Structure 1
Amino acid sequence: MFAARLTRRAALAGGLAFGVAPAILSAKPSADVRAAGGRYAGLSEHGVKVFRGIRYGEDTRQHRFRAAAAPKATHSIQQAVEFAASCPQKGDRYARTSEDCLFLNIWTPETDPRARRPVMVYIHGGAYSTGSVIDPLNYGHHLAARGDAVVVTINHRLNALGYLYLSRLDPRFADSGNVGQLDLILALQWVRDNIAAFGGDPGRVMVFGQSGGGAKIATMMGMPAAKGLFHSAATMSGQQVTASGPLNATARTRAYLAALGVAETNLDALLELPTERLVEALEATDPVLGGGVYMGPVLDMKWLTRHPFWPDPNPQSNAIPMILGNTHDETRGFFGPDHPRIVGIDWDNLADRIAPELKIDILPEWVVAEFRERYPRYSPADIFYAATTAGRSWRGQVEEADARARAGARATWVYQLDFPSPVRPERGAPHTHDIPLVFGTLDAEGSLTGTGADAQRVSEQMMRAFAALARAGSPAHADLPDWPGYTLPQRTTMVFDRQTRAMNDPRQWERELFARVPYIQPGS
Structure 2
Amino acid sequence: MNKSFKIAAAFLLIPIVFICRASAQNIDPIVKTDRGYIKGLNEDGIAVFKGIPYAAPPVGPLRFNPPVEHGVWKDTLSAQKFGSVATQNAGKKVIGSEDCLSLNIYAPKIDHQKRAVLVWVHGGSMTAGAGKGENGHAFADKDDIVTVTINYRLGVFGFMYLGDLNKDYATSGNNGTLDCIMALSWIKHNIVAFGGDPNRITLMGESAGAKLISAVLVSPKSKGLFQQYIAESGSVQCIRDTVTARHERLRVLHAMGKGRYDIQTLLKLPADSLMKAQGIACSGIGGNSFFGPVADGVIIKGDPYQYAAGKNMPRIKALIGTNKIEAALFMAGDDPLQHPDTGILRSLFGEDYPMVYKAYQLELKTNAPYDAAAKVLTQYMYQMHSYRFAKVLVQNRIPVWMYRLNYDKASNLGAAHAAELQFVWNNPGLASSPDMVKKQLATNMHKAWVAFIKTGNPNGGTLPQWPNYSNDARQIMSYDSTSKAIGLKEIYDDKNFPSAVFVLKGNN
Write the distance in 2 (CA, Å) between the matches of 1:456 and 1:242. Answer: 33
Are the structure 2 counterparts of residues 168 and 77 from structure 1 closer, same or farther at C-alpha, using a change threshold of 3 Å?
same
One-letter identity of the residue aligned with 2:407: F
Are the structure 2 counterparts of residues 243 and 115 from structure 1 closer, same or farther at C-alpha, using a change threshold of 3 Å?
same
- Alignment check: 8 A CA contact 1:214 1:235 kept: yes
Write the distance in 1 (CA, Å) between the matches of 2:93 and 2:478. Answer: 34
Structure with greater helix share of residues: 2
- Alignment check: 8 A CA contact 2:87 2:94 kept: no
Are the structure 2 counterparts of residues 61 and 366 from structure 1 closer, same or farther at C-alpha, using a change threshold of 3 Å?
closer
- Alignment check: 8 A CA contact 2:391 2:471 kept: yes
C-alpha distance after superposition, 1:419-443 (max 9, x if no partner) = 3446x43x00111112221122242
114, 121, 124: which is aligned to 2:122? 124
Are the structure 2 counterparts of residues 518 and 133 from structure 1 closer, same or farther at C-alpha, using a change threshold of 3 Å?
same
* RMSD, aligned α-carbons: 2.9
Write the distance in 2 (CA, Å) between the matches of 1:93 and 1:73. Answer: 38
311, 319, 335: which is aligned to 2:315? 319
Corresponding residue of 2:324? 328
Are the structure 2 counterparts of residues 42 and 453 from structure 1 closer, same or farther at C-alpha, using a change threshold of 3 Å?
farther
Corresponding residue of 1:256? 252
Write the distance in 1 (CA, Å) between the matches of 2:353 and 2:487. Answer: 26
Write the distance in 1 (CA, Å) between the matches of 2:70 and 2:356. Answer: 53
Are the structure 2 counterparts of residues 318 and 518 from structure 1 closer, same or farther at C-alpha, using a change threshold of 3 Å?
farther
Corresponding residue of 1:362? 355
Q: State the SS of the aligned residue for 1:319.
A: coil
Corresponding residue of 2:210? 214
431, 456, 462: which is aligned to 2:417? 431
Q: State the SS of the aligned residue for 1:429.
A: coil
362-371 or 47-56, which deviates more: 362-371
CA deviation after TM superposition for structure 1 residue 485, in Å: 1.1
Are the structure 2 counterparts of residues 493 and 371 from structure 1 closer, same or farther at C-alpha, using a change threshold of 3 Å?
farther
Write the distance in 2 (CA, Å) between the matches of 1:85 and 1:133. Answer: 10
- Alignment check: 8 A CA contact 1:65 1:173 kept: yes
One-letter identity of the residue aligned with 2:64: F
Write the distance in 1 (CA, Å) between the matches of 2:184 and 2:197. Answer: 13
Corresponding residue of 2:390? 401
Specify every segment of 5 or more residues in structure 2 that has no aligned partner in the other structure, as ranges: 1-24, 504-508
Are the structure 2 counterparts of residues 332 and 292 from structure 1 closer, same or farther at C-alpha, using a change threshold of 3 Å?
closer
CA deviation after TM superposition for structure 1 residue 155, in Å: 0.3
299-308 or 188-197, which deviates more: 299-308
Larger-Rg structure: 2
Corresponding residue of 2:403? 415
Corresponding residue of 1:458? 441
One-letter identity of the residue aligned with 1:108: A
Write the distance in 1 (CA, Å) between the matches of 2:247 and 2:311. Answer: 30
Write the distance in 2 (CA, Å) between the matches of 1:249 and 1:271. Answer: 19
Write the distance in 2 (CA, Å) between the matches of 1:292 and 1:414. Answer: 24
Q: State the SS of the aligned residue for 2:189.
A: helix
Q: State the SS of the aligned residue for 2:248.
A: helix
Corresponding residue of 1:522? 501
Q: State the SS of the aligned residue for 1:326.
A: strand
Are the structure 2 counterparts of residues 400 and 163 from structure 1 closer, same or farther at C-alpha, using a change threshold of 3 Å?
same
Query: Mapping of 1:76-87 within 5 angstroms?
Result: 76-87=75-86
One-letter identity of the residue aligned with 1:520: S
Write the distance in 2 (CA, Å) between the matches of 1:199 and 1:351. Answer: 54
Write the distance in 1 (CA, Å) between the matches of 2:36 and 2:353. Answer: 50
CA deviation after TM superposition for structure 1 residue 293, in Å: 8.6
Corresponding residue of 1:382? 371
Write the distance in 2 (CA, Å) between the matches of 1:66 and 1:262. Answer: 24
One-letter identity of the residue aligned with 1:441: N
Q: State the SS of the aligned residue for 1:40.
A: strand
Corresponding residue of 1:15? none
177, 183, 190: which is aligned to 1:187? 183
Q: State the SS of the aligned residue for 1:58.
A: coil
55, 58, 63: which is aligned to 2:56? 58
- Alignment check: 8 A CA contact 1:49 1:108 kept: yes
Corresponding residue of 1:341? 336
Are the structure 2 counterparts of residues 451 and 127 from structure 1 closer, same or farther at C-alpha, using a change threshold of 3 Å?
farther
C-alpha distance after superposition, 1:364-408 (max 9, x if no partner) = 4664554653xxxx6432232122212322111111111112233
Corresponding residue of 2:426? 440
CA deviation after TM superposition for structure 1 residue 492, in Å: 1.0
Write the distance in 1 (CA, Å) between the matches of 2:389 and 2:356. Answer: 24
- Alignment check: 8 A CA contact 1:211 1:237 kept: yes
CA deviation after TM superposition for structure 1 residue 272, in Å: 1.1
Are the structure 2 counterparts of residues 234 and 45 from structure 1 closer, same or farther at C-alpha, using a change threshold of 3 Å?
same
Write the distance in 2 (CA, Å) between the matches of 1:450 and 1:363. Answer: 38
Specify every segment of 5 or more residues in structure 1 that has no aligned partner in the other structure, as ranges: 1-26
Q: State the SS of the aligned residue for 1:256.
A: helix
- Alignment check: 8 A CA contact 2:342 2:354 kept: no
Corresponding residue of 1:272? 268
One-letter identity of the residue aligned with 2:320: L
- Alignment check: 8 A CA contact 1:169 1:264 kept: no
- Alignment check: 8 A CA contact 1:206 1:470 kept: yes
One-letter identity of the residue aligned with 2:55: G
Query: Mapping of 1:294-313 within 5 angstroms?
Result: 294-310=290-306, 312-313=308-309
Are positions 1:493 and 2:476 aligned together?
Answer: yes
CA deviation after TM superposition for structure 1 residue 241, in Å: 4.1
Corresponding residue of 1:34? 32
Write the distance in 1 (CA, Å) between the matches of 2:432 and 2:486. Answer: 23
Write the distance in 1 (CA, Å) between the matches of 2:356 and 2:157. Answer: 37
CA deviation after TM superposition for structure 1 residue 448, in Å: 13
156-165 or 91-100, which deviates more: 91-100
CA deviation after TM superposition for structure 1 residue 205, in Å: 0.6
456, 472, 475: which is aligned to 1:473? 456
Q: State the SS of the aligned residue for 1:90.
A: strand
Are the structure 2 counterparts of residues 467 and 187 from structure 1 closer, same or farther at C-alpha, using a change threshold of 3 Å?
same
Write the distance in 2 (CA, Å) between the matches of 1:448 and 1:211. Answer: 25
Provide TM-score, normalisation by structure 2.
0.85
Are the structure 2 counterparts of residues 503 and 254 from structure 1 closer, same or farther at C-alpha, using a change threshold of 3 Å?
same
- Alignment check: 8 A CA contact 1:222 1:316 kept: no
Corresponding residue of 1:44? 42
Corresponding residue of 1:23? none
- Alignment check: 8 A CA contact 2:342 2:353 kept: no
Are the structure 2 counterparts of residues 365 and 218 from structure 1 closer, same or farther at C-alpha, using a change threshold of 3 Å?
closer
One-letter identity of the residue aligned with 1:245: D
Provide TM-score, normalisation by structure 1.
0.83
One-letter identity of the residue aligned with 1:177: G
Are the structure 2 counterparts of residues 98 and 291 from structure 1 closer, same or farther at C-alpha, using a change threshold of 3 Å?
closer
